[in-house]
Amino acid sequence: MLKEMIVASLAKHCSLTEQQIYELLEFPPNEQLGDVAFPCFALSKTLKQSPILIAEQLSESVQSELWTADAAGPYLNFKFNRAEVIKQFANEHREKGLRFPKLGSGKRVIIDMSSPNIAKPFGIGHLRSTMIGNALYHLLGKVGYEPVNVNHLGDWGTQFGKMIAAYLHWGDPSQKSEDPIKAYLELYVRFHEEAKLHPELEDEAREWFVKLEAGDPEAHRYWHLFIDDSLAAFNQLYDRLGVSFDHYLGESFYNDKMDAVVEQLAQLELLEESDGAMVVRLDEEGLTPCIIKKSDGSSIYATRDLATALYRHEQMGGDELLYVVGAEQSLHFRQLFLVLERMGFDWAKQCKHIPFGLMLMDGQKMSTRRGKVVFLEDVLDEASATALRIIDEKNPSLTDKGEVAEAVGVGAVIFGDLLHSRLHEVNFSLEDIVNFEGETGPYVQYTYARTQSLLRKASLQSEAAGTAAISDFSFVSSDYAWQLAKALMRYPDALTQAAQRYEPSVVAHYLIELAQTFNRFYHHEKIITGNTAEQGAKLELVYMTTECLEDGLQMLGVKALKEM
Ligand code: ARG
């Protein structure tokens, strides 16, 4: 925002466009030199003058009540009148609220996120897709896109043949399990163990899947049971995480839409036979072929994803299709997008895989087949119990402790995930993340609660406190106040970066920095002073901080708590 303020004034006095000037402006490494610097080298070519001279000339013409501009060699250094800038910023904020960059111009973005598999546990690995997707969903909405999120449930595939076979052998339909997903997982693991000794089980499973594909009512009954039980469990988790979906459209939704795609591929002569299977060759790109139909004629994941992409573009009106899915599926998405391109779809260029690194526990990837799974539910329970212990110690008289602890524990897990750059592996340790100090969600939440408590105190003291009209901003020109104001002004930049790189961690890091800057201001300056003019100005900074923290936390899916 500081740069924007200068741009217009400079543009009036030199031959560059506002955009060019904006890109040239720098933040000097040493703040003593100035808040923003304009290097005059670029102008010297067109003006055929030395940059030193240009800097001197400009320094005379671009003065304002908001800054002083001093030439220092080839640079023009701007030093802001802190009180005046903060006053303008606070007034604008009172009038228009937080500023959001406008990047999307209404483009509809379909976000494929979460997408767990039916009858399998929602591991903490799925948390990443859910929370990164959720953050992008909110973020893109704020910066002018029209986001639509879809849960592409894994509700189809040969594994359902295995599940039915296992359920019939060892499941106990008469006894409704308390935790059906755990029971299904045990069945799945048992199937793979027993099939090693009794390979005929695999044939049985295949037959069940063929029946399922053929619409056999019995097979469908079991399949529906798995879906209902799984969705009930998933929805409980989504509630806890505060995540909702515009659409639940699982893979099975595309069963009747695949023939058309296969037909289209055949007409375009893109299909080739390979070992009895039908594939699209991607040799030119150096990739393995994309399998469209297996040798037994059944469709697979990729075929369903082709039909899905077409549906999202044509029926759902998606201008951009995002897939928030682990990096281990990168090849799949490269193949998918290439096949779409080969089919002649221009919009294939707007399909993007948003990969992320693994979630590790004790350095091991969680795998369902080995049955060594960390259930997200258990992680959330433990996080919330840890939070409760800390609150019992720090603030034993707090009301609604249980609720607050749940929000802090769950928030800690979400923030701990989102703080990592998407592609980095996350090694999970509850101890580190459920901590009121350090770079954690609870630290940001705690800072937010502190701003809330300050505002409450002030309004108790005087109804009128905190209104810009009676504030004297000369009281907020210390380095601490100025650093805080500058951090607040950077919010739109953080959102721009996060949106352009599909990287929620930029927002998480920004919030940590804002919280730290605020806390430095809080520890060094008395805010509730009793002097209305002084307190009023300081509270403007507190008020903007509270709004910014709240917005950022909610964007990431972390609850902002008034007290904790
Ligand atoms: N169900 C898949 C899995 O858990 C993720 C699906 C991702 N979305 C997609 N359109 N392929 O691995």
Which CATH fold topology does 2-80 show? Gyrase A; domain 2 (3.30.1360)
- For the chain, the domains span 2-80, 113-361, 377-556
Instruction: Report pLDDT digits (tens) over 484-534.
Output: 999 999 999 999 999 999 999 999 999 999 999 999 999 999 999 988 899
Calculate ∠ Cα 396-399-404, nearest 5°: 90
Average pLDDT over residues 282-310: 91
Is there a contact between 154 and 223 (Cβ–Cβ < 8 Å)?
no
Q: What is the rounded CA–CA span in Å between residue 532 and residue 293?
A: 74
Which residue, among 557, 544, 458, has the nearest Cα to 507 in the 3D structure? 557
SS3 194: helix
Report residue 368's pLDDT band, with 50, 70 and 90 as the boundaries.
very low
For ligand 1, whether the C-beta of 152 sits within 6 Å is: yes
User: Could you give the count of Cα atoms lying within 13 Å of 124 in the half-sphere of its Cβ?
Assistant: 32
For ligand 1, whether the C-beta of 323 sits within 6 Å is: yes
Average pLDDT over residues 359-372: 53
Give the helix/strand (H/E) hosting 165. Answer: helix 159-170
Q: What is the rounded CA–CA span in Å between residue 534 and residue 262?
A: 71
Average pLDDT over residues 280-292: 94
Is the pLDDT score of 535 beyond 90?
A: yes
> Structure tokens of 433?
């993340």
Is the pLDDT score of 369 beyond 70?
A: no
Q: With a threshold of 0.95, does the pTM exceed it?
A: no
For ligand 1, whether the C-beta of 251 sits within 6 Å is: no
> Structure tokens of 260?
């058309």
DSSP state of 297: S
For ligand 1, whether the C-beta of 230 sits within 6 Å is: no
Q: What is the rounded CA–CA span in Å between residue 120 and residue 180?
A: 10
Which comes out higher in pLDDT, residue 320 or 43? 320
Instruction: Report pLDDT digits (tens) over 109-162.
Output: 999 999 999 998 887 768 999 999 999 999 999 999 999 999 999 999 889 999
For ligand 1, whether the C-beta of 114 sits within 6 Å is: no
Q: How would you classify the pairing of strands 36-39 and 75-80? A: antiparallel
Q: Which of 127, 152, 159, 340 to mutate to test the pocket of ligand 1 (most atoms within 8 A of CB)?
A: 152
Q: What is the rounded CA–CA span in Å between residue 199 and residue 206?
A: 12
- Interval between CA 273 and ligand 1 midpoint (Å): 26
Calculate ∠ Cα 115-374-505, nearest 5°: 60
- Interval between CA 154 and ligand 1 midpoint (Å): 6
Is the pLDDT score of 465 beyond 50?
A: no
Average pLDDT over residues 182-202: 93
Tell which atom from ligand 1 comes closest to the C-alpha of 301: 11
Measuring from atom 4 of ligand 1, which residue has the nearest CA?
116
DSSP state of 14: S
Q: Would you tell me how many other CB atoms lie within 10 Å of the CB of residue 378?
A: 12
> Structure tokens of 298?
């059944």
Calculate ∠ Cα 117-118-121, nearest 5°: 70
Instruction: Report pLDDT digits (tens) over 302-333.
Output: 999 999 999 999 999 999 999 999 999 999 99
- The pLDDT of residue 530 is 83
Q: In angstroms, what CA-CA distances link 44 with 7, 16, 39, 187?
A: 18, 11, 10, 75
Bridge partners (DSSP) of residue 111 are 149, 322
Is the pLDDT score of 472 beyond 60?
A: yes
- Interval between CA 152 and ligand 1 midpoint (Å): 6
Is the pLDDT score of 370 beyond 60?
A: no
- The pLDDT of residue 45 is 84
Q: What is the largest CA-CA distance in the chain?
A: 90
CATH of region 377-556, choose from 1.10.1060.10, 1.10.730.10, 2.60.120.10, 3.40.50.150? 1.10.730.10
Tell which atom from ligand 1 comes closest to the C-alpha of 117: 1
Encoded amino acid at 260, one letter = A
Is the pLDDT score of 216 beyond 70?
A: yes
- Average pLDDT over the chain reads 92
Q: What is the rounded CA–CA span in Å between residue 336 and residue 122?
A: 25
Q: What is the rounded CA–CA span in Å between residue 400 and residue 507?
A: 29
Q: Percentage of the chain surpassing pLDDT 90?
A: 79
For ligand 1, whether the C-beta of 305 sits within 6 Å is: yes
- Interval between CA 206 and ligand 1 midpoint (Å): 22
Instruction: Report pLDDT digits (tens) over 162-177.
Output: 999 999 999 876 666 7
Tell which atom from ligand 1 comes closest to the C-alpha of 325: 7
For ligand 1, whether the C-beta of 159 sits within 6 Å is: no
Q: Would you tell me how many other CB atoms lie within 10 Å of the CB of residue 228?
A: 12
Helices (H) and strands (E) in the chain, counts: 21, 14
Class of domain 113-361: alpha beta
- The pLDDT of residue 366 is 47
Tell which atom from ligand 1 comes closest to the C-alpha of 329: 12
Is there a contact between 417 and 507 (Cβ–Cβ < 8 Å)?
no
Report residue 361's pLDDT band, with 50, 70 and 90 as the boundaries.
low
Is the pLDDT score of 334 beyond 80?
A: yes
Is the pLDDT score of 280 beyond 80?
A: yes
Measuring from atom 11 of ligand 1, which residue has the nearest CA?
305
For ligand 1, whether the C-beta of 115 sits within 6 Å is: yes
Q: Are 113-361 and 377-556 in the same CATH fold?
A: no
Average pLDDT over residues 389-395: 95
